Chains A and B, each alone.
Chain A
Amino acid sequence: MTDEPIQIINDKCVRCGACVKACPFGAIAQAEKKSFPVIDLHKCTLCGACKEACKFDAITIQAKPAPSTTVTLDDYKGVWIFAEQHDGVPQSITFELLGEGRKLADQLGMKLSAVLLGSGIQGRTDELIARGADLVIVADQPELASFQDEAYAAVLSELIRRHKPAIFLCGATTIGRSVLSRVAVTVRAGLTADCTALAIDPTTHELLQTRPAFGGNIMATIITPNARPQMATVRHKVMKEAEIIPGRKGQVLVETLSQALLQCRARRIRFEPEKEKSANIAEANIIVSGGRGMQKPENFDLLRDLAGVLGGAVGASRAAVDSNWIAYSHQVGQTGKTVCPKIYIACGISGQIQHLAGMSSSDIIVAINKDPDAPIFKMATYGIVGDLFEVVPRLTEAFRKLLAK
């Protein structure tokens, strides 16, 4: 039995059952109310929720001793952020990462570097420095003009081997998640997806990576104790953008890369930009979203009008997308996108848990619904029971006047 990675120490256990209730996987059971709990190791994922819940330190979780590696953790220094650019233009997530990365680097007394991949992008380094980077590491190659999973991953892996950063952050964007997953496997590093909070542990100096799981029902704090770099993708719109500090100084390092790193088997043939401006819900500060209560596709024009006035994007529930009232790229929720705007205005959305999973971390939630019992009202900062076809146009008018001033 001593081989098992998780154990209940019966001498310490008071059989209170707190661990049984805490287990997100239903892996712990008590045969009777006051008997010793038993862990079903087939179900247990060693997540540690029970250990956290036990007030008596009666649960131990022990990984087998980590393999001895040649990795010396102290050799890894500096905080890196991936400067995501589209057509040479750094994306807002890049500035958010610079803001967060600066804080972490200062706490650790380390340098902050931005890693910029692209073609003809060397004129873009000033802004990254002005927003907090001490160093910009540039890979400027025609092959890197547009995002290519394999080449980007190969180049980033190579740069990590050359410079050994302690921390590497990237946006939890389509590109970020696609490329960093490859990099983490290649350099044998830990990667935590879609973080909403980052901090440095004051004693161990490890990166504490906090992220939602189970559709936001629970939060987990993850560490990477024995591997470097500590890598994480960071959710859009959660971290504050770094401000421009005029005259801020920094260095630029242009890397030489072998041709082999730039090879790609999968290749972009063409790119069709989204025509509807209101579609980029991941990056929007304000989202106006519609559900089953919208009744037909034309009615989404009401939401487009409001979003247009507010400078926001248009979202939708699964019900609206499945009825073909609006394209899938607008869908918020479990089978769509997770968004985190300053204001989320839910119109005619009842608030199924799958939808809430995609928007519950918005700063302000406004719900407009006919049904006073709709679950969305439990989540809403401000609720209006009423007819959205009356409320939304008036809201549009009111803001049109206000913002025109």
Chain B
Amino acid sequence: MRFVVCIKQVPETTDVKINPETHTLMREGVVSIVNPFDMYAIEEAIRMKARLGSGTVTALSMGPPQAEAVLREAIAMGADEGILLSDRAFAGSDTWATSYTLSMALRKMGDYQVIICGKQASDGDTAQVGPGIAAHLDLPQITYVRRVEAQDDKHIVAERLLEDGVEVVDSPLPCVLTVVKELNEPRLPSLKGKMNAKKAQITVWKAADIGCDPQCLGLTGSPTKVLRIFTPPARKGGQMLTGETHQVVSQLVEKIKDTVLSAQA
């Protein structure tokens, strides 16, 4: 039984600052990390393997050669192997082309049972790649999973977080899950895990290795194109309200009451 976690290397956004003169992102010395939501995906895959008593956890990523760091991090946590899809032909992929490329790698593996993705990546914030993989492979999906209720080698029952409540969904395997933070608490790598990660041989697949149609890859294969990128207008400087508590409260009430009243409709 193979559990595949799809993970992405992202910049640690805490370090992203805007250059006040050029209004562009300053990226010098920005650290790359595993996308925060993917940490819950890795942890859950490791727990599934433990729960079922056997299987392989494969970490899969697409990105530049340096993205192998996130695969090593997954192995340090307990994943058994890492596969990196890296080819210049993948550059400029939107979510259509990314989910296509990942699905082609999954086809090559063939024996996947559960595919787990973080709900969304912290740089793009689309939440489209997980369901996109499911569509490319024609698999059922359970998105926004916050708890796995039951699981055997044929089925999974999971709770998904909707805006107005929790839905419990039963899906046959194979299936795609996208997961949110509440699901678990990702473990820290053990010393042994770190040793394994250091020694691990990361498999690298190029477009030709997974039989991709070049027309479906990268910028060419992406239906959406970025027309322009700009910095959002900065918020206007705020106003500090000062005085005794009762004074600041009445000032604030005065400032926001019209908006509050119009929001009651």
Interface residues of A (CB under 8 A from B): 5, 18, 21-26, 41-49, 52-53, 61, 63-64, 66-67, 86, 149-150, 153, 173-175, 177-186, 188-194, 208-209, 212-227, 264-274, 280, 282-283, 285-286, 310-312, 328-329, 331, 334-336, 338, 342-343, 352-354, 357, 360, 363-367, 377-387, 390-391, 394-395, 398-399, 402-403
Contact = CB atoms under 8 A, between A and B. Distances in A.
B25 A214 contact: yes
Interface stretch (B74-82, B133-141, B201-209): B133-141
Contacts of A209: 224
B110 interface: no
Contact of A220 (B130, B162, B229, B239): B229
Interface in B241-265: 241-242, 245-246, 248-250, 252-253, 255-257, 259-264
A225 B227 CA distance: 10
Contacts of B130: 181
Contact of A24 (B24, B248, B256): B24
A377 B238 CA distance: 7
A52 B22 CA distance: 12
A184 B252 contact: no
A75 B203 CA distance: 45
A175 B146 CA distance: 15
Contacts of A342: 259, 262-263
A382 B256 contact: yes
Given A219-B230, A220-B229, A193 B166 contact: no
B140 A149 contact: yes
B151 interface: no
Given A174-B144, A212-B232, A274 B36 contact: no
A177 to B, nearest CB: 5
Nearest to B229: A49
A364 B256 contact: yes
Nearest to B10: A214
B168 A379 contact: no
B259 A394 contact: no
Contacts of A364: 256, 259
Interface stretch (B46-54, B94-102, B189-197): B94-102
Given A280-B163, A328-B146, A224 B224 contact: yes
Nearest to A206: B227
B143 A149 contact: yes
Contact of B231 (A43, A218, A268, A366): A218
A63 B89 CA distance: 11
A221 B14 contact: no
Nearest to A26: B27
Contacts of A394: 245-246, 249
Given A25-B27, A189-B223, A48 B168 contact: no
Nearest to B64: A42
20 contacts: A42-B65, A177-B128, A181-B131, A188-B223, A190-B222, A190-B223, A191-B224, A213-B123, A220-B226, A223-B225, A270-B167, A280-B163, A311-B264, A328-B181, A335-B181, A379-B235, A380-B238, A382-B252, A384-B240, A394-B249
A343 B257 CA distance: 10
Nearest 10 Cβ contacts at the A-B interface? A190-B223, A46-B92, A181-B131, A266-B171, A185-B135, A193-B126, A285-B263, A266-B140, A190-B224, A227-B223
B36 A334 contact: yes
A25 B25 CA distance: 9
Given A185-B131, A221-B229, A342-B263, 11 more contacts: A63-B92, A178-B141, A184-B132, A216-B232, A217-B232, A218-B230, A218-B231, A222-B224, A272-B165, A310-B263, A342-B259
A265 B22 contact: no
Nearest to B237: A378
A41 B25 CA distance: 19
Contacts of A223: 224-225, 227
B91 interface: yes
Contacts of B252: 366, 382, 384, 395
Contacts of B222: 190
A198 to B, nearest CB: 13
A391 B243 CA distance: 12
Contacts of B260: 286, 310, 343, 399, 402-403
Contact of B164 (A193, A274, A398): A274
Contacts of A386: 245, 248
Contacts of B240: 377, 382-385
B148 to A, nearest CB: 13
B1 interface: no
B125 A215 contact: yes
Contacts of A384: 240-241, 248, 252
B19 A21 contact: yes
